[in-house]
Every structure is written in structure tokens, then in C-alpha cells.
């Protein structure tokens, strides 16, 4: 039967198209907040990293009331690297709001999230947002979205989607861009009319699928998901069925439903509700919590495999243990495996070394967010250069992951962009020039060609280029490519960086360090102007003598040092380099700190190639 008093929806879109802003407006207009309550923007982005970067990383659940209906809303990430969050959320909902920018139209991540929604059989409402933009072209956007539905194999019913036009910042919506209401009522009405009510069996034994998990200092592990059938109550005898089908008794200590931004504790919940359970500490994502008298497992959650991996290891630099709280391999291993319980798109594997672990994810940003999160928690460790994960084809050929890349650049930069992508085995699939002179490219590029490419692209386009990518699939290896054009400047000895020392060698390249900073032998202190590494002594002091000249003291002017973000550092490093990550910052270093060790290793490689 249909439970008509409730609707479960997910909001999906490309990054920066306004999902979280629209959720803010829905919350405000459903009277979740008091009239005089101060509410910050993007209230759903509760994570500090989400606020700093302006992106959604973790999917979150909220609930609003409209007339006699309760609408459960799941806000999902918009970046392709966090696609695992979107994939598992599709199990919780009955329909989606597909948010599309009124100027940009469907973007790469739009295709990915929409494909997942259509495969799950969901009905979609297309929300054309930012209709107030001067460059808005809503009719073109709706036509392009319809073409996308057809290309992705939507059924006739799915392709007949409702369209709502919104300005999420002001909280206005309408069925036509020329006739907007001063509220989001048209959107609320479309959700009630077009999104199907959950189909439930209220009398059957309880069945709940774990979709997300979080940890609370007071309540312990809290798992969230959808109650597919039956009712669930505190004190009820339950069984947990894991991915392998193993059964174990489960004891429920607290039961919550969502009301606005809060979890509200209740005694029982009915089929169709999105609920959270506390007390089942061994529950993992994809497990089924079911009635003990009639245990039946639901299909487990499946997500696409990772495409990029890197090593996480115990810090072995001369500065090891000085800045971090958690520095041992036991703590590092414990934290990494703990992350796999929350993030099903992440894979962690032990290596031959007890101090090094192999971590695989969806992309550089996916792994970079994990590194930054662990750094802020007090962990100290070192990571290697990201590398792609190859696969073996059915005929024995070696395959590599490919990405569909969409680029928008001004006409002045199209030559340099074509040259950069050509060097990285990019294959142009489409190109057109917009009315404002912006050139739009679609390329198929090997994932390994995009590792470290973003910073190079932004530098070449003076920060004006826009680049979006989406995993395309596995193809035969495209061939060799030139990944790095410059070598590194390496500290030849440890000590404190001096103004005199940098001044003596600053014509050799761009430096990452400043006077007064401590360095050690083998630490990367800058980028060489040539394509080979160079050892420099940045700690050198000027020898004082009793000879004085009449011109006064010599004035030393240093070029400004380049400040690398953690993402920049991970992009920059080469195969023989590591990033040392601590709660106070990060440093780039060579894997082999001694120059003699590096020379011996180079000689050994040359002999092996000969």
C-alpha cells in the first residue's frame, strides 16, 4: 500500500548549482526556524571543510512539513569524487529533484547522478535554478536536459518530467520563468503531485537498510537508512545481517526520525520513514537490520570501484613525531579502516610493510579530503603521489580509467589548452563557441593525464578556465605522456633557511620556503626552472670579515615564495617524492633523503633499463 502522508526525495546536481541553498529556502519556508532566529547560509553544510571549500562532501538528511505532508529531503554532494555518497542515497528515496543551472545547463556530474537515479527507477522533477542570472537561457536548458534523459535511456514516464523554475537565493519559484511566485509553493506542490508516496507493507516483519553511519560521543555509532517494511520499536528483538549473509543479534538503544535539522527521538517508526538507530555498534553500510523472528536480507549497496590510489605511511622524516598527536602505524591503520565503514567508495589494503597502507578512492579530491580531515584530527603521516588503478581486459589487454572532461575557456587560451591536453593523450570529442565568445571543449582524457593537471590548467588560463570531469570507463592504455615539466629544488643540508642562502640560488627557480623556516636534508624547497632536480643550500650564511665598504649594507630582495595548499602539494609531487602531513602543515620531501642514496638508486634503475 502507499503511505500518502510522506515523500522521500534526494536533491542531486552538479557542484555549485545551488542544491544546499535551495534546501535552506525549503527549510525557512516550512517554518522550521523561529521568526527571529539567526540562520547562517548553507545551514546543511555543517562540516568545517564543506564551509571552507563551498562544496557538499557528506550527504545529509532533513525533513520539512508542507500542509499535511512530511517531506524527507537528502542533500547530496555535487562533485564526482563523492559519487559514492549519491549512489547509496538512491536506496533511501522514491524520487529526485534534479537541479540544473539556468545558464550552464546539464554538466558532467549531472549526467552521473541522473543515470543513477534513472537506474533506480526514480521519477525526477527538473528544477532550473538561478533564472535571475543575466546569461540565463532556461528554454535551452530544459531542451538539453530532455536530450540527456533520452541519452541515458529514461523510460517514457521518466522523460515526461515536471519543470519548476527557481531562484533559490530569494526563495522564489514558478512553472514559468516569466511568472514567478514569491515563495517555493509551486515546488512543494510539484513534489506532492509528482513524487510517488512510498510503497510499504506495514504488517510485514521489519526490514531496514543501513545507508550512512556517523559517530556520536554520547550515543556511539548512529546508522541512518530507510525502513522498507513493518514497524520498528525500542526494545524490539532484531537481527543484523551483514554483506556475507552472517546473522548476529542486534540491540536497539535509541530510535530517531528527522524533524527539520534535528533528530527527534521516538518510541517506534513505520515503514517508509527515514530513521536513525543508535546502539548497534557493529552495523556497517549495506547491512540489513530485520525482525529476529523472520530475518530477511535486503539487496546490499553496490558502488562503482575506485580509480585512483596512493600510499599512507608512518612519517619517517627527521621532524617525525614533533607536531602530531597520533603518529604510530596502529593508530593510522585504525583510523583508515574506520573511514571505510562510513565511506563505501574507499578501499584500504595492508601492504608488505606494517607502516604503509594502500588507500584507493574516486579521485584526487576524494583522497585529499580524507588527508585534510585526518590532519585536523591530529594525525601525522606521509602520502605518496596518486596513481591510477589499471584493470585487465577480457582479451588480456591492459586497461586504464578514462574521464570525460568539459572545459570552458576564453578564446585567447584555446591554443594552450589544446596543447596541454594533447600532451596528455586527450582526444577531442566536441567543440563549440558560445555567443559570448567562450569556447566549450569536450575531451576524453586518461585519468593519469589529469593527475596534477588542474593547477597547470589554471596557471595557463590565468585562473579563468573552468574544468569539470566525470569517470567515463576503462579503455586500452593511451600511450606515454609527459607528466612533469620541472624538477625540484632539494635542500642539500638541514638547518634554518637564511635570506642569504635563498638569495644566492633564487634565480634557479621558485621557492616554497621562507627565511626562518626549518628544513632537513632531502626536503623539497622549491621548483627548478629546468626538468631535472637540483640540490641547493638554502641555509647558507654569509661569512663575516673585518673588511667594510663605504656603500653601507647590501640590500637583499627576495622573490615571493609560492604558497602551496595541501591539494597543490599532492598534485605537485613526483614518483620519488612524498608529502609529509602534520596538524601544523605539510612539507614535500624525497623518498630517499640522502643524496648518496638517490644517486645509487638512479644508477640501479639505469642498469635495470639497460
Closest CA to 340 of 325, 357, 326, 359: 359
507 marked among binding-site residues:
no
User: Based on the domain organization, do 409 and 445 belong to the same domain?
Assistant: yes
Cβ atoms 212, 226 nearer than 8 A: no
CA distances to 23, 25, 187, 486 from 183, rounded to whole Å, are 13, 9, 9, 55
* Rounded-to-integer distance, Cα 83 and Cα 216, Å: 25
Residue 367 placed within a domain:
no
User: Based on the domain organization, do 152 and 38 belong to the same domain?
Assistant: yes
User: Based on the domain organization, do 111 and 243 belong to the same domain?
Assistant: no
* Rounded-to-integer distance, Cα 247 and Cα 597, Å: 53
Residue 375 placed within a domain:
no
Cβ atoms 119, 336 nearer than 8 A: no
User: Based on the domain organization, do 155 and 13 belong to the same domain?
Assistant: yes
Of 291, 325, 340, which marks where a domain is finished?
Answer: 291
Asked if the model's pLDDT at residue 490 lies above 90, the reply is: yes
17 marked among binding-site residues:
yes
Of 291, 313, 337, which marks where a domain is finished?
Answer: 291
16 marked among binding-site residues:
yes
pLDDT digits (tens, 9 = 90+) for 498-512: 998 998 898 999 999
Q: Cell digits for 189?
A: 506542490
Q: pTM of the entire structure? A: 0.82
Q: Is the dihedral of CA 213, 89, 200, 66 positive or negative?
A: positive
Residue 388 placed within a domain:
no
So what's the pLDDT on residue 38? Answer: 47
Residue 39 placed within a domain:
yes
212-226, 263-277, 413-427: segment of lowest average pLDDT = 212-226
User: Based on the domain organization, do 255 and 180 belong to the same domain?
Assistant: no
User: Based on the domain organization, do 189 and 285 belong to the same domain?
Assistant: no
* Rounded-to-integer distance, Cα 519 and Cα 400, Å: 38
Specify the higher pLDDT residue, 558 or 583: 583
Query: 575 burial class (0-12, 13-18, 19+ CB within 10 angstroms)?
Result: exposed
Residue 471 placed within a domain:
yes
**Widest pairwise Cα distance in the chain:** 99
Domain of residue 435, CATH code: 3.30.70.240
pLDDT digits (tens, 9 = 90+) for 365-414: 889 989 999 999 999 999 999 999 998 888 888 899 998 888 888 888 88
User: Based on the domain organization, do 83 and 228 belong to the same domain?
Assistant: no
Checking DSSP bridges between strand 274-278 and strand 254-259, what pairing results, if any? antiparallel
19 marked among binding-site residues:
yes
User: Based on the domain organization, do 216 and 156 belong to the same domain?
Assistant: no
150 by DSSP, 3-state: which? helix
Checking DSSP bridges between strand 123-129 and strand 95-101, what pairing results, if any? parallel
What domain range includes position 423? 403-476
Cβ atoms 460, 416 nearer than 8 A: yes
Instruction: Assign 547 a pLDDT band (cuts: 50, 70, 90).
Output: low
Cβ atoms 226, 92 nearer than 8 A: yes
20 marked among binding-site residues:
yes
Q: Name the strand (E) or helix (H) holding 221.
A: strand 220-229
% of the chain surpassing 70 pLDDT: 92
CA distances to 54, 347, 507 from 528, rounded to whole Å, are 33, 35, 9
Residue 179 placed within a domain:
yes
* Rounded-to-integer distance, Cα 514 and Cα 506, Å: 11
User: Based on the domain organization, do 175 and 36 belong to the same domain?
Assistant: yes
Asked if the model's pLDDT at residue 201 lies above 50, the reply is: yes
Residue 30 placed within a domain:
yes
Of 452, 476, 500, which marks where a domain is finished?
Answer: 476
* Rounded-to-integer distance, Cα 57 and Cα 52, Å: 11
131 marked among binding-site residues:
yes
Residue 525 placed within a domain:
no
Q: Name the strand (E) or helix (H) holding 442.
A: strand 439-446
Q: Is the dihedral of CA 154, 156, 160, 161 positive or negative?
A: negative
CB atoms within 10 A of CB 160: 12
* Rounded-to-integer distance, Cα 452 and Cα 229, Å: 48
User: Based on the domain organization, do 31 and 134 belong to the same domain?
Assistant: yes
Any idea which residue has 589529469 for its cell? 450
525 marked among binding-site residues:
no
Q: Cell digits for 295?
A: 530475518
Looking at the structure of the chain, the number of domains it has is 3
User: Based on the domain organization, do 172 and 273 belong to the same domain?
Assistant: no
Amino acid at each position: 500500500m502507499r503511505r500518502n502522508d510522506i515523500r522521500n526525495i534526494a536533491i542531486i546536481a552538479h557542484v555549485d548549482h545551488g542544491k544546499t541553498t535551495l534546501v535552506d529556502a525549503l527549510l525557512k519556508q516550512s517554518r522550521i526556524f523561529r521568526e527571529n532566529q539567526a540562520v547562517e547560509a548553507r545551514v546543511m553544510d555543517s562540516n568545517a571543510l564543506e564551509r571552507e571549500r563551498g562544496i557538499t562532501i557528506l550527504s545529509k538528511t532533513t525533513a520539512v512539513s508542507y500542509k499535511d505532508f512530511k517531506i524527507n529531503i537528502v542533500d547530496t554532494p555535487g562533485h564526482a569524487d563523492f559519487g559514492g555518497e549519491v549512489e547509496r542515497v538512491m536506496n533511501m528515496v522514491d524520487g529526485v529533484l534534479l537541479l540544473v543551472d539556468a545558464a550552464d545547463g546539464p554538466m558532467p556530474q549531472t549526467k552521473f547522478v541522473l543515470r543513477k537515479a534513472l537506474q533506480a527507477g526514480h521519477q525526477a522533477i527538473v528544477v532550473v535554478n538561478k533564472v535571475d542570472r543575466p546569461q540565463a537561457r532556461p528554454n535551452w536548458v530544459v531542451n538539453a536536459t530532455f536530450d540527456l534523459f533520452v541519452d541515458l535511456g529514461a523510460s517514457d514516464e521518466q522523460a515526461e518530467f515536471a519543470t519548476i523554475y527557481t531562484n533559490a537565493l530569494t526563495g522564489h519559484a514558478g512553472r514559468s520563468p516569466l511568472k514567478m511566485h514569491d515563495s517555493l509553493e509551486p515546488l512543494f506542490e510539484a513534489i506532492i503531485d509528482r513524487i510517488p508516496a512510498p510503497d510499504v507493507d506495514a504488517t510485514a516483519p521489519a526490514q531496514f537498510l543501513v545507508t550512512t553511519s556517523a559517530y556520536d560521543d554520547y550515543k556511539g555509532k548512529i546508522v541512518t537508512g530507510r525502513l522498507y517494511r513493518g514497524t520498528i520499536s525500542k526494545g524490539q528483538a532484531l537481527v543484523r545481517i551483514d554483506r556475507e549473509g552472517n546473522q548476529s543479534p542486534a540491540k536497539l538503544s535509541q530510535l530517531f526520525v528527522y524533524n527539520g535539522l534535528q533528530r527527534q527521538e521516538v518510541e517506534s517508526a513505520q515503514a517508509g520513514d527515514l530513521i536513525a538507530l543508535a546502539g548497534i555498534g557493529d552495523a556497517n553500510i549495506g547491512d540489513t537490520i530485520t525482525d529476529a523472528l523472520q530475518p530477511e536480507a535486503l539487496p546490499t549497496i553496490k558502488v562503482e570501484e575506485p580509480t585512483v590510489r596512493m600510499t599512507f605511511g608512518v612519517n619517517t622524516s627527521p621532524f617525525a613525531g614533533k607536531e602530531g598527536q597520533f603518529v604510530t602505524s596502529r593508530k593510522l591503520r585504525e583510523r583508515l579502516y574506520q573511514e571505510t565503514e562510513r565511506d563505501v567508495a574507499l578501499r584500504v589494503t595492508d601492504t608488505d610493510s606494517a607502516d604503509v597502507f594502500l588507500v584507493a578512492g574516486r579521485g584526487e579530491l576524494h583522497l585529499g579530503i580524507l588527508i585534510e580531515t585526518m590532519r585536523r584530527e591530529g594525525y601525522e603521516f606521509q602520502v605518496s603521489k596518486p596513481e591510477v588503478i589499471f584493470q585487465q581486459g577480457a582479451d588480456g589487454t591492459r586497461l586504464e580509467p578514462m574521464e570525460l572532461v568539459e572545459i570552458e575557456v576564453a578564446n585567447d587560451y584555446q591554443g594552450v589548452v589544446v596543447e596541454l591536453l594533447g600532451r596528455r593523450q586527450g582526444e577531442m570529442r566536441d567543440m563549440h563557441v558560445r555567443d559570448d565568445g567562450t569556447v566549450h571543449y569536450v575531451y576524453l582524457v586518461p585519468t593519469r593525464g589529469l593527475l596534477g593537471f588542474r593547477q597547470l590548467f589554471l596557471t595557463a588560463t590565468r585562473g579563468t578556465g573552468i574544468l569539470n570531469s566525470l569517470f567515463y570507463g576503462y579503455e586500452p592504455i593511451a600511450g606515454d605522456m609527459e607528466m612533469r615539466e620541472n624538477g625540484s629544488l632539494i635542500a642539500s643540508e638541514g638547518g634554518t633557511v637564511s635570506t642569504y642562502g635563498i638569495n644566492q640560488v633564487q634565480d634557479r627557480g621558485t621557492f616554497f620556503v621562507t627565511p626562518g623556516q626549518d628544513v632537513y636534508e632531502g626536503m623539497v624547497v622549491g621548483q627548478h626552472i629546468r626538468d631535472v632536480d637540483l640540490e641547493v643550500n638554502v641555509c647558507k650564511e654569509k661569512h663575516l670579515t673585518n673588511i667594510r665598504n663605504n656603500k653601507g649594507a647590501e640590500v637583499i630582495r627576495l622573490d615571493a615564495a609560492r604558497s602551496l595548499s595541501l591539494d597543490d602539494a599532492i598534485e605537485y609531487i613526483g614518483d620519488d617524492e612524498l608529502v609529509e602531513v602534520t596538524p601544523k602543515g605539510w612539507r614535500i620531501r624525497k623518498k630517499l633523503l640522502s643524496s648518496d642514496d638517490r644517486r645509487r638508486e638512479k644508477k640501479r634503475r639505469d642498469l635495470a633499463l639497460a
